[in-house]
Amino acid sequence: MATWNGRSRRKPTGGRYVQGRKKRKFEVGREKQFTFVGSERLKVYRTKGANSKTRVLATDFANVTDSKTGVTKKSRIVTVKQNPANPNYTQRNIMNKGAVIQTELGMAVITSRPGQHGMVNATLLEKQE
């Protein structure tokens, strides 16, 4: 079932808006498809203006940047350690922006949106001592 991104039919007070027009195709959203840890799977979508978006369905590598040295390396993702969007995402190894992942280089936080950008970019977290 598709999501609809148009204006609600109800006002914040609970009253109804007068319908000025019907629903439009450009107001229809897409189903959620999560990014998991695993062998790489991508999905390409056609967007408005015949452009395209690449969505990562699964990946086991991330581009990890060390903010101290400014060096970026491709690193294997071990697991998802924390996901502030939903605690259940941690158990299911679902990645999105803001999730903390364990990589071979250390703990990193995801800075990209894998469902929108088609890649996983992350920055290393500084070790707490």
| pTM confidence score | 0.83
**Residue 29 counted as domain residue:** no
Q: Which of 107, 111, 55 is nearest to 77 (CA)?
A: 107
Domain that holds residue 48: 35-124
**What pLDDT band is residue 1 in, cutting at 50, 70 and 90?**
low
Please tell me the total count of domains within the chain.
1
What is the end-to-end Cα distance of the chain in Å, rounded?
48
**Residue 58 counted as domain residue:** yes
76-87: average pLDDT:
95
CATH, residue 80: 3.10.290.70
Q: Which of 93, 90, 95 is nearest to 115 (CA)?
A: 95
User: Per-residue pLDDT tens for 91-111?
Assistant: 999 999 999 999 999 999 999
CA distance 95 to 1: 23
